[in-house]
Amino acid sequence: MRFLLDITLDEAASSEDKARELSRILRYWAGNVRHCPLQTGDGSAVYDSGYKEVGAWRVVAS
């Protein structure tokens, strides 16, 4: 299986803000991945700290 996480960061944000937001998203998903069945076809939207959709994760066959 492959776990794909695709995130779009705000181009106008500073490098520090981009790093902070990406770190928060990665920590959140690392902590919650155990609650996902992780079967081919599973996936969900990913939101930033302002609850704006910024990407998605999905599981695909390898």
Q: How many domains does the chain have?
A: 1
Spatial contact of 61 and 40, defined as CB atoms under 8 Å apart: yes
> Would you state the pLDDT for residue 7?
97
Spatial contact of 14 and 22, defined as CB atoms under 8 Å apart: no
Ranges of residues in the chain with a pLDDT under 70 are none
> Would you state the pLDDT for residue 35?
92
> Would you state the pLDDT for residue 29?
85
Who contacts 46 (Cβ-Cβ below 8 Å, separation ≥6)?
5, 7, 25, 29, 53, 54, 55, 56, 57
> Would you state the pLDDT for residue 9?
95
> Would you state the pLDDT for residue 5?
95
Residues 44-61: tens digit of each pLDDT? 999 999 999 999 999 999
Q: State the residue range of the domain holding 10.
A: 2-60
> Would you state the pLDDT for residue 43?
94
